[in-house]
Structure 1
């Protein structure tokens, strides 16, 4: 049944009309992206959101539903989870899957298409990490992080792209992290997986842009839970996608660099800087923009952290560029010579 046509004409008493001039109180994206505005209101779209039970995923669901869109919210494939995913909203379909298992993604995608009749935007908010020193994490733990963060994303891309290619349009919004650009002590394998997803998504963008398909990598800063989660079946867990592994003796000292991620969590209890609601509002604009950016850094923490990293890299290039010269017997090969 194609319920998209029915849902688009049904408006709850507390829900703003998609064409309401008050629906876009503030635009976050630049005009060059052509986001929705009061003069150019958004058309209703259908979202497929993986990782909808995390606080960012839930906030995106809430904003999209409040602004008149249709949503298939996909949670984790855990016992009893599909029951929990029901009755979030009259325009929300609740499903579950395990992104590591391709068949579960295929079933979710098929059920969403059958329910709405189309899908316009695919969002991947899934994530899994272990906080602990690189040496302390075993092969199983490292593989689990790559299977969820990288292989899961690749599965989503490969199983949904044929549909977008056939229709000649569609958008992917992929959530990365500052960990996708920075090496963070205590989060080594998680960082490695996030670096990998950035490379995958950027490569994909170049491949599918000629086909009318858009890809945006969202890099949020450390975010606080400030959304009305109670409207979507209760509060979301604070760190539900991370596990804390007890350190070995070599890394147990509180001032150890390997304890940095643990100290960061303690700091976040009181100083989470970036609003999940604002991230969700910008994500909604991305889903409705004609020219979304490839990469979007959100929050001062993300901007400053990435800027410092790039500055450090440029300084290193300047410091070591003298190695790149033509020696007596080389053709442009960088050679370090003792004594200058």
Structure 2
């Protein structure tokens, strides 16, 4: 972030009220803590932040070749191997980052897990794995980073949800549940940390051109019940892979931009598909609420 400092001095003739303005650009670099930074949107944001001159504590379950290469190229990058479902590992990573860079200004909770399967098919273990990464892992990061943001009376927490955190879809119930939770906890967190000068933004991306839907990344339930047509659902997702409308590099630019705003948004859908689907869903909700209003209002004493 750049701060403009204006110095006013009298001109050479010393006439009262006649000033020369000298503008100095002071670079105020920020320190980012990013989860899921080794690929996809996390990697794109990491690249954009580094190119902007900011520092990054980039965490991932595995340090990919791309992330390791960035580490050699940028001295302001600290790659750390972290399993966010392990709170001790998260706490250590945050402490390490602060020890090296002095502070954390922006926390990007980007790491995510997507499982395809109906609620009848999904096992307890599979459902918990989705929640462990998308909700409890995120909470581990929040719980251990907010004390520093609160103490310094500034900061920005950016939580990645999805348009599927506003709209439920068949065969993705565990993912829907986790992303609905991310939106709810982000709204609560925003109210809790607002008195300390800390901002919260929950981002709802649509479909972006990453490997999220590839056959090597996409997770599918083990207990397949043919009646739910999960195999067909998976084929559709694989066919979309590589043709998603969203550009991760543009998403990175937007996140970098909102990190510099004095009053960033709380809710931010990203992508035409996300924005339009959420808007249409809200319209349908309003119609349904009005249709059944007579029952909703019939329960008071």
Same fold (TM over 0.5): yes
Equivalent residue in structure 1 for 2:194, among 186, 193, 209: 209
* Alignment partners' CA distance in 1, 2:41 and 2:57: 15
Does the CA-based 8 Å contact 2:38-2:66 persist in structure 1? no
Give 1:209 deviation, angstroms: 0.6
Whose RCO is larger (CA < 8 A, sep 6+)?
A: 1
* Alignment partners' CA distance in 2, 1:301 and 1:83: 32
Against the structure 1 CA distance between its residues 153 and 241, is the aligned structure 2 distance closer, same or farther, given a 3 Å change threshold?
Answer: farther
Equivalent residue in structure 1 for 2:40, among 34, 38, 55: 55
Aligned to 1:27: none
Aligned to 2:245: 273
Q: Which runs of 5+ in 2 are unaligned?
A: 4-23
Against the structure 1 CA distance between its residues 106 and 317, is the aligned structure 2 distance closer, same or farther, given a 3 Å change threshold?
Answer: same
* Alignment partners' CA distance in 1, 2:154 and 2:276: 34
Aligned to 1:243: 219
* Alignment partners' CA distance in 2, 1:42 and 1:265: 43
Give 1:84 deviation, angstroms: 7.1
Does the CA-based 8 Å contact 1:86-1:93 persist in structure 2? no
Aligned to 1:294: 266
Aligned to 2:107: 122
* Alignment partners' CA distance in 2, 1:82 and 1:275: 21
Against the structure 1 CA distance between its residues 84 and 284, is the aligned structure 2 distance closer, same or farther, given a 3 Å change threshold?
Answer: closer
Aligned to 1:221: 206
Give 1:133 deviation, angstroms: 1.6
TM-score (norm 2): 0.84
* Alignment partners' CA distance in 1, 2:183 and 2:25: 32
Aligned to 1:314: 286
Q: How large is the RMSD of aligned CA atoms in angstroms?
A: 2.5
* Alignment partners' CA distance in 1, 2:66 and 2:93: 16
Q: Which runs of 5+ in 1 are unaligned?
A: 1-16, 20-38, 226-235, 253-257, 334-340
Does the CA-based 8 Å contact 1:123-1:173 persist in structure 2? yes
TM-score (norm 1): 0.75
Q: Which secondary structure does the structure 2 equivalent of 1:215 belong to?
A: strand
Aligned to 1:181: 166
* Alignment partners' CA distance in 2, 1:282 and 1:272: 18
Aligned to 1:86: 68
* Alignment partners' CA distance in 2, 1:315 and 1:200: 26
CA deviation profile, 1:266-313 (whole Å, cap 9, x unmatched):
341353111111110000112111110001011110011101111110
* Alignment partners' CA distance in 2, 1:187 and 1:275: 23
Against the structure 1 CA distance between its residues 297 and 83, is the aligned structure 2 distance closer, same or farther, given a 3 Å change threshold?
Answer: closer
Give 1:188 deviation, angstroms: 0.6
Against the structure 1 CA distance between its residues 324 and 55, is the aligned structure 2 distance closer, same or farther, given a 3 Å change threshold?
Answer: closer
* Alignment partners' CA distance in 2, 1:261 and 1:279: 26
Does the CA-based 8 Å contact 1:224-1:274 persist in structure 2? yes
Greater strand percent: which structure?
2
Against the structure 1 CA distance between its residues 51 and 270, is the aligned structure 2 distance closer, same or farther, given a 3 Å change threshold?
Answer: closer
Aligned to 2:234: 262
Q: Which secondary structure does the structure 1 equivalent of 2:60 belong to?
A: strand
Give 1:242 deviation, angstroms: 3.2
* Alignment partners' CA distance in 2, 1:288 and 1:124: 17
